[in-house]
Amino acid sequence: MENRIYNFNAGPAVLPISVLEEIRDSFLNYDGSGMSVTEISHRSKWFDNIINDAIERIERLLKLDEQFHVLFIQGGASMQFCMIPMNFLKKGTVADYVNTGTWSTKAIKEAIILDKKVNITASSEDKKFSYIPRNIQFNKDSVYAHITSNNTIKGTQWTSFPDTGDVPLIADMSSDIMSRPLDMSKFGMIYAGAQKNIGPAGVCMVIIRDDMLELVQDDLPSMLNYTTYSSKNSMYNTPPCFAVYTIQLVMKWLEKDIGGLKNMEAINRKKAELLYTVIDSGSFYKATAETDSRSLMNVTFRLPNEDMEKLFIQEALENGMAGLKGHRSVGGCRASIYNAATIEAVEALADFMKTFEKKKG
C-alpha cells in the first residue's frame, strides 16, 4: 500500500493491512445498512452480530469453556487497576502483586489509593526491572495474585506463568494478548487494553471466570462492577462500537489468515529472534532485559550513547521505520513487534541495524 511505513509504535500500534482494508471498504456502508459502522445503533442486528462474533472468535482462539465471560469495558487497562481491587477485595482481605515495572507499579498504586491491603510478593526493582522474578511464594490467604504478563517499557515477558495454587491468577496482558496460546485454567481473569495487540484505543477486553464474578462487591457504582458487563453482554450502556468491530476483524484475521495462536507464536518468535540476533552479535547494541526474560513483543535496547540513539531513530524514520524511540521514562530504543508487525518489517529493521552499526560502530 502506498505511503505506508513500517510501524514499530508501542501503542496505539500497527494493525493488519487486511483489517484496515476491510474497515475502509465497509466504512461508509456497513453490511448493506446504508450507514457507517460508526453510525449503527449498538441495539441493532448489525452490532449484535459484531459483538457476538468477536466473542465467539475469542472463545475459539483461547479455547474458553462456559465458565469464562468475555467483556468489553472502556477506560483501558488503567481502569482495571482500580476496578480489580474494588470488585474483589473486601475489608480485611489481601491480594498479592508481583512488581515487574511501570504498569505493575501503577496497578499497585491504585489498590493502595483505595486503602486495599496489598502484598508485594516479588519484585525486580533491584535490577531496574530487567528480569522476571522466579520461584515466587504466594500468600495462600490472598484473594488473588496479580501479574503483568509483558512489560512494554522494560522489554520483559513471562515465558511461563507462576503456580499460584488455589489463589486465582489475574494478568494484565495488554501488550501480548493473543500472541501465543494460553492455558486458561491457570487464570481467574485476564485483561488487555486493545491498542497494543488487538485493536484501536478505546476498549479493554476482560476475560473473567464465574467464581471471580461471585466475589464481586455489592456496593459499587454500576459502571465499575464486573457483573454489570457480564449480565448485559457488555451493553449496559453504549459500548465503544468501532473498537469492538476492529477487534472482531483482528480475531477473524488471527483465525483465518494466521491459523490460530500456535502459528502466531511461531511467527512472533521468528521476528524477535531476528532482532535479538543482531543485538547479540557484537557490543554496539545492548539489550536492556536479561536473556531469559526477554519480550517477544517489545525489543528494548541501547546504543553506545544518547546522541547515537537519536541519530539511529532519525535515520530509521528517514528509511521508513517509525516508533523506535524508547519510552520517555527510560530512553533508549524500542521496537514493538506485535502480532500485526510483519516479518518483512522486522527484516527491514534488522538490515537497517546492521547497516547502521557498520557505518557508526
Per-residue pLDDT band at 1 (split at 50, 70, 90): low
CATH of 260-360, picked from 3.90.1150.10, 1.20.1050.10, 3.40.50.2000, 3.30.70.20, is 3.90.1150.10
Cell numbers found for residue 187: 487464570
Task: Find the catalytic residue in 96, 103, 271, 325.
Answer: 103
Does 196 participate in catalysis according to the annotation?
yes
Query: Which of 154, 196, 271, 325 is an active site residue?
Result: 196
Q: How much is the average pLDDT of 79-98?
A: 97
| HSE value, Cβ hemisphere, 13 Å, CA-based, for 307 | 1
Residue 304 has a pLDDT of 96
Q: Which residues contact 205 (CB under 8 A, 6 or more apart)?
A: 58, 70, 71, 72, 177, 191, 192, 194, 198, 247
The angle formed by the CA atoms of residues 154, 158 and 161, to the nearest 5 degrees, is 155
pLDDT given for residue 280 in this prediction: 97
Burial (Cβ within 10 Å: 0-12, 13-18, ≥19) of residue 33: middle
Q: Are 145 and 96 in contact (CB under 8 A)?
A: yes
| For residue 2, pLDDT beyond 70 | no
Please compute the mean of the pLDDT values over residues 296-317 and round it to a whole number.
97
Sign of CA dihedral 298, 120, 105, 62: positive
Strand bridging mode 321-322 / 298-302: unpaired
Can you give the pLDDT at residue 361? 81
Residue 211 burial (CB < 10 Å; 0-12/13-18/19+)? exposed
- pLDDT, residue 343, reads 98
In the sheet that 298-302 helps form, which strands lie side by side, from edge to edge? Answer: 286-287, 298-302, 333-336
Please report the pLDDT score of residue 3 as a whole number. 82
Residue spans of the domains in the chain: they are 18-257, 260-360
Q: Please tell me the total number of residues recorded for the chain in this structure.
A: 361
Say how many C-beta atoms besides its own lie within 10 A of residue 252's C-beta.
17
- Is 211 one of the annotated active-site residues of the chain? no
- The correct CATH number of 18-257 out of 3.40.640.10, 3.40.50.1820, 3.40.50.150, 3.10.150.10 is 3.40.640.10
With 60 as the cut, is the pLDDT of residue 206 above it?
A: yes
What is the Cα 284 distance to its own chain's centre? 30
Contacts of 10 (CB under 8 A, 6+ apart): 152, 175, 196, 298, 323, 327, 334, 336
Average pLDDT for 204-233: 97
Q: Compute the distance between CA of residue 129 and CA of residue 155 in angstroms, rounded to an integer.
A: 9
Residues 37-44, mean pLDDT to the nearest whole number? 96
Q: Which of 62, 50, 51, 72 is nearest to 234 (CA)?
A: 72
pLDDT in tens, 50-59: 999 999 999 9
Residue range 92-101: average pLDDT? 97
Catalytic residue among 96, 154, 172, 271, which?
172
Q: What is the pLDDT of residues 253-295, one digit of tens each?
A: 999 999 999 999 999 999 999 999 999 999 999 999 999 999 9
158 is catalytic: no
Beta strand 204-209 with 68-73: parallel, antiparallel or unpaired? antiparallel
pLDDT of residue 130: 98
